Structure 1
Amino acid sequence: MQLKPLKGQHHVSAITADAKRNYEFFTKTLGMRLVKKSINQDDSSVYHLFYADERGNPGTDLTFFELPYAGQTRYGTNSISTTSLRVPSDASLDFWKKRFEQNQVDHDDISEHTGRKTLAFRDFEGQRLMLVSDENNVGVAGGKPWDKSAVPSEHAIYGLGPVMLTVAKAETSAQVLTQLLGYREKGSYRSIFPGQPDVRIFETGEGGTGAEVHLEERSDLPVETQGRGSVHHVAFRVESEEELRSWANHLKQIRIPNSGFVERYYFKSLYFREANGILYELATDGPGFEGDEPFESLGERLSLPPYFEHQRAEIEAKLKPLDTKE
């Protein structure tokens, strides 16, 4: 079976040391919907929180593992250094800049990259984020904002934009993106750091903001030490379980160490790490987040995949209560 092109970003998973403040920032300040309050399936003693559009459509999820004792991130290479979030228009960035000023969110000025206006900002733990305007975008469609969001729908975040990888040796990651994952190199733009190479742009599938990876080479940084405010991994979209199993077989055949097929209940996954230390996940578009909660009350209770349900009392006893009912 010939592998189909990846469809773009599926989700980005990051680290927080404070689930309560994280929930307040991403729902009340950024207006995203908490579509699932669950657990890290590799460590059931910690939360896994999923923020997205109205129902967690593929390509809209920004997720967090709560690690209460996580140290401060030491920024550097071998990292997923910026997660961007899509907003509808250039006017949306003006709205967000004012909102950030009102809410004392650390942010930069509005700037422009590759013909798109952007607004970089940080959350309370230094998570490196950027809003990107879709005004001139063509390609992978975004999601649909939640109608009960704290942010008006005409300016709401409705998907993941380009993901920035910062590495010591760009060509190593470029070969993984193009020769293994099937991305196309489509251009570049000047680095904001003097003396560093241009940032290279790769795209997959229909292209556009929801299907781009930006690759930055830095020779002036140490390797990043992950902590609160850093990104754990990035996931890319495959359309079906059958396709994911084909990817697992392909990686095995070419002897790329990987997790093999992993059941995550809300989607199916596999993981592998490339030589620059970046952890990639391939994840299916479905089945989605409404298998154990109705649309109207997504994220309000602790959701456990069926294979964890028999441990619910033990799991809940270890977790610090987190009230996510509106």
Structure 2
Amino acid sequence: MNYHNPVLLQESVDALAIKEDGVYVDVTFGGGGHSKEILKRLGEQGRLFGFDQDSDALENVIDDARFTLIPENFRYISRFLRFHRVRKVDGVLADLGVSSHQFNEAERGFSTRFNGDLDMRMNQKSKVSAQEIINTYSEEKLANILFMYGELRNSRNLAKTIVEEREKEKIETSFQLKQILKRYLPNAKEHKILAQIFQAIRIEVNEELDVLKEFLEQIPNLLKEDGRLSVISYHSLEDRLVKRFIRTGMFSGELEKDVFGNTSEPLQKVGKLIVPTSQEIKTNNRARSAKLRIATLRVEK
């Protein structure tokens, strides 16, 4: 099955500082690109677990005794690792967002380029699809999603138009939605605005930001003392959460200080933010907005 070239492949796997006998987790298995690179660097005693809730990813399972694919959402990382008798790991890699494979399958409804059913579920078994959100959410709820997750200033107008049009007929396909919102899509910015609209709906369908938060909150208890977290994100909403959690261990609010003025954030960043080279962006368009952040457990001095 045709999956994308992994973005920041060497950099994100280098970030894990792999030990030959270590235990690692690739929480966004997809086409298996990052996993194969991790396995190359592991010795015979090493172990790698992959997570992917998309049934298409099951077709890419790597035939290697050191590898186990867990067909679940990575928000349940600790629970399913415990099932495999693993409580602590040496490193966790996450390549967030939608794979090129998902974008390229017209019937999955992720892409603005193809006409397909408004689906957008990463897990085909989940109950709520994009169609349900577009056709049943209240105008206010739609406006909030488009504003928060799509960062669209005219979210109220977009939501109002969707609600008016769905009363005439059910909105079922991506091109139907595009047609309905045509007046808000000036030629020069059509692609950008549509991408923001689709992003907002997709995040809501898959609860992407909630999943990311739940995942990050488990990392401090999951990593061994010198374990590493390596996260690639593709849009500012995700990156902001990752950056803030690495810096403070929280997603909002201020760090509390003890009586001596010390804080106790669980992680510390490793190195600087890494972005793809212009060469990688040239050969892999998907890399253009990627950001890699690396962290390890904070060691009390």
Instruction: Return the structure number with greater strand share.
Output: 1
Higher CA-based Rg: 2
Instruction: Return the structure number with greater helix share.
Output: 2
Structures share fold, TM-score greater than 0.5: no
TM-score (normalised: structure 2): 0.27
